[in-house]
Structure 1
Amino acid sequence: HRPPPPAWNAPPRSDARKRDLMRVSGGSAPPLPGVLNSLAGPLDHFGYWAVLLLVMVEDFGIPVPGESVLIVASVYAGAGRLNVVAVGVIGFAAAVIGDNVGFALGRFGGRALALRLGRYVRLTEERLDKAEVFFNHHGTWIITVARFIEVLRQVNGIVAGVSGMRWLRFLAFNALGAALWAGTWVSLGYLAGSRIGTIYHSISEYSLYVLIALAVLLTGYIAWRVLRRRRRVE
């Protein structure tokens, strides 16, 4: 009969946790739902570089899934596949760099270049005029909030540059928004990744009910629009 191994030979808790997470996911991260699964390939091949490039490029007006890849990378970090601190720092840096590239394009390229790039995110001349008025009216706090709003996130630096905002003021409020944005999504993704087995079980169990609910809501919305149009005609 051999005596039990000494306590100091036990594996560190972090290693044991990672093994448990990998065992729950079957030895590798399970497939992610929807568009998130399409981003698993770039992350597997390029890792942190995918986060850096996609987040940065999205933030000066090119329509790529930068926010989505940050979320997926955070889920990977929660599952022990990436370092969560590195994901957060890279996401923050890429967001700040991308928005400042957009600011420079707006400042030195003017409205013509802004509209040329903005067509990819449906930024028309009318919308650009409204965005400039909105920025000038609400002040620099909108730079921070815009980080969380689709379309504004992509063009916020360009519009700020076109409107003539001072660069240092833009940089400060943009960095604050990037820190809050990256911190929020990295934290949520990391928590989801650490409970990936439970989450995917729940998704599989309730996805049919969610689809039925969405179909009912869509049918009701279409019926409401048809009735409203008929009343207008009458």
Structure 2
Amino acid sequence: MHVQEWLDTVPAAAVYAVVGLVIALESLGIPLPGEIILVSAALLSSQHGGVDPLVLGVCASTGAVIGDSIGYAIGRKGGRPLLARLGRRFPRHFSEGHIATAERSFQKWGMWAVFFGRFVALLRIFAGPLAGVLRMPYWKFLIANVLGGIVWAGGTTAVIYYVGVVAESWLKRFSWLGLVLAVAIGVTSMLVLKRKAKRAQPLAAAAE
């Protein structure tokens, strides 16, 4: 079966549900590839007439806002012991260096860290729980959360969708290349953030 024929068999409702769920879980603090899923779905919507990019953007934005809000509530209730437990459970994502990097961003930028954190893989996972742990006023968090979720999810969907439309004839012949490229970009960003976090670890240790 040709890739395009296979794409046409994918139910739109399943795409919306998967995107919203994965982004929500990532936003509440579970390390999942939310951005890669969103980029892949936006590319899919440019080739699959049944997937509406507007509905996709709404589902992604909703998942981001709800997930971050749940993460905030969990972080506010669990406090710093929660971060310690997450560090033991997910040492590659919630290491002391990663936490120190995210916490410095929050201390320096406040609610803007929540907004711009939506565009950074590391902070996207930390934003909700860490804002709760640091007792950021919820109204500030909610404003930054909603705006960041809409701009990130809606903007990413729109850009990738229109890129896919413009390159539709090319993507029909190499439809998997866009997905491979999205994965490569996601992996590269994670490696860069991991390197930054490792450099931050000695600073965190010195501050203790």
**TM-score, normalised on structure 1?**
0.64
Q: CA RMSD in A?
A: 2.9
Structure 2 match to 1:103: 72
- What whole-Å deviation, never above 9, does each CA across 1:165-205 have from its counterpart, x for those lacking one? 00110000111111110122101221233233314657899
Normalized per residue, the structure richer in helix is 2
The residue type paired with residue 19 of structure 2 is V
Q: Do the aligned partners of residues 113 and 179 (structure 1) sit closer, same or farther apart at CA in structure 2, a change above 3 Å counting?
A: same
Question: For structure 2, which runs of at least 5 residues remain unmatched after alignment?
Answer: 181-208
> What is the 5 A alignment of 1:137-148?
137-148=108-119
- Between 1:87-96 and 1:105-114, the stretch displaced more is 105-114
Give the distance between the partners of 1:204 and 1:99, measured in 2 at CA.
Answer: 31
Give the distance between the partners of 1:204 and 1:179, measured in 2 at CA.
Answer: 27
Higher RCO (CA 8 Å, separation ≥ 6 residues): 2
Give the distance between the partners of 1:180 and 1:72, measured in 2 at CA.
Answer: 18
Structure 1 match to 2:139: 168
- What whole-Å deviation, never above 9, does each CA across 1:10-57 have from its counterpart, x for those lacking one? xxxxxxxxxxxxxx9754549xxxxxxxxx98x778221111111100
Q: Which of the two has higher C-alpha Rg?
A: 1
Structure 2 match to 1:184: 155
Deviation of 1:100 (Å): 0.8
1:84 pairs, out of 33, 36, 53, with: 53
Maintained 8 Å contact 2:114/2:127: yes
Give the distance between the partners of 2:101 and 2:171, measured in 1 at CA.
Answer: 41
Q: Do the aligned partners of residues 145 and 46 (structure 1) sit closer, same or farther apart at CA in structure 2, a change above 3 Å counting?
A: same
Structure 2 match to 1:61: 29
Identity %: 33
Q: Do the aligned partners of residues 135 and 204 (structure 1) sit closer, same or farther apart at CA in structure 2, a change above 3 Å counting?
A: closer
- Between 1:44-53 and 1:170-179, the stretch displaced more is 44-53
Maintained 8 Å contact 1:56/1:94: yes
- What whole-Å deviation, never above 9, does each CA across 1:52-72 have from its counterpart, x for those lacking one? 111100111212222222112
**What is the number of residues matched between the two proteins?**
173
Give the distance between the partners of 2:84 and 2:22, measured in 1 at CA.
Answer: 21
**TM-score, normalised on structure 2?**
0.71
- What whole-Å deviation, never above 9, does each CA across 1:81-123 have from its counterpart, x for those lacking one? 3011110100000000001111111100111112323552522
Give the distance between the partners of 1:25 and 1:123, measured in 2 at CA.
Answer: 37
1:135 pairs, out of 106, 129, 144, with: 106
Maintained 8 Å contact 2:115/2:147: yes
Q: Secondary structure at the match of 2:159?
A: helix
Maintained 8 Å contact 1:51/1:91: yes
Maintained 8 Å contact 1:106/1:159: yes
1:197 pairs, out of 153, 169, 172, with: 169
